[in-house]
């Protein structure tokens, strides 16, 4: 266990950033997700998120046996060259540890990091229409239902796309937005190298 990756302790539960070099953590995360999420994910999906955005994977461990009891996996990307969009891909809490605020704390950590470190303009996710607990959780942070995605999941259930607007850009149409400052800087660097 790498205590350098300890972010905080809340109600005696330690919250860590995922350790990309720890195969046991990867295995525990993939098991937790495959057991408790209705959507089956390939191991490549985990690797895609965890290798590209390890700083956006937070885990909670049981302090007695150090097993992972909760995880949130997210990413950030430039969306249409005009805004940075955070995306929450997976959030899972072991059922025996639910109703302790762990999911709320993981979402809060993710939102705060995305706002502070990457100045994201919005955060997006999908959740099943029937998952009332998840909808209440995300809507308590200000996420808005923006679209119903029919038969979105492999089990043929519908999903809601939820978006948390964090900047004025999140309320504007893409056609009227200037390039994001990070994209402008990248293009300037590219021009200077040529």
Tens digit of each residue's pLDDT (9 = 90 or more) over 81-128: 677 899 999 999 999 999 999 999 999 999 999 999 989 999 999 999
How many domains is the chain built from? 1
pLDDT at 168: 74
Cα–Cα separations (whole angstroms), residue 131 to 6, 22, 47, 78, 167: 30, 32, 26, 28, 27
Degrees (nearest 5) of the Cα angle 13, 114, 185? 150
- Expressed as residue numbers, the domain containing 83 is 3-193
pLDDT at 132: 93
pLDDT category, 164, cuts 50, 70, 90? very high
pLDDT per residue as tens digits for the range 37-79? 766 667 777 788 888 998 999 999 999 998 999 999 999 988 7
pLDDT at 172: 61
pLDDT category, 2, cuts 50, 70, 90? low
pLDDT at 176: 55
pLDDT at 61: 94
Could you tell me the CATH number of the domain that includes residue 9? 3.40.630.30
pLDDT per residue as tens digits for the range 125-158? 999 989 999 999 999 999 999 888 888 776 778 8
Edge-to-edge strands, sheet with 144-149: 6-10, 13-17, 57-61, 68-79, 83-93, 122-128, 159-165, 144-149
Inform me whether the pLDDT recorded for 19 exceeds 60: yes
Answer whether 53's CB lies under 8 Å from 59's CB: no
Place of tokens 């994001």: 180
E strands along the chain, which residues?
A: 6-10, 13-17, 57-61, 68-79, 83-93, 122-128, 144-149, 159-165
pLDDT at 179: 63
Helices (H) and strands (E) in the chain, counts: 5, 8
């Amino acid at each position: 266990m790498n205590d350098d990756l300890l972010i905080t302790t809340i109600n005696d539960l330690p919250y860590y950033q995922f350790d990309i070099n720890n195969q046991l953590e990867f295995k525990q995360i993939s098991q937790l997700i495959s057991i408790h999420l209705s959507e089956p994910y390939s191991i490549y999906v985990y690797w895609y998120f965890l290798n590209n955005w390890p700083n956006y994977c937070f885990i909670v461990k049981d302090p007695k046996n150090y097993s992972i009891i909760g995880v949130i996996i997210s990413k950030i990307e430039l969306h249409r060259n005009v805004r940075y969009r955070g995306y929450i891909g997976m959030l899972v809490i072991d059922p025996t540890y639910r109703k302790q605020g762990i999911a709320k704390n993981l979402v809060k950590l993710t939102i705060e990091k995305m706002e502070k470190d990457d100045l994201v303009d919005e955060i997006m996710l999908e959740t099943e229409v029937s998952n009332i607990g998840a909808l209440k959780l995300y809507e308590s942070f200000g996420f808005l239902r923006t679209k119903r995605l029919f038969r979105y999941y492999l089990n043929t259930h519908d999903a809601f796309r939820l978006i948390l607007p964090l900047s004025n850009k999140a309320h504007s149409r893409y056609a009227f937005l200037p390039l994001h400052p990070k994209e402008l800087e990248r293009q300037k660097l590219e021009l200077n190298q040529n």
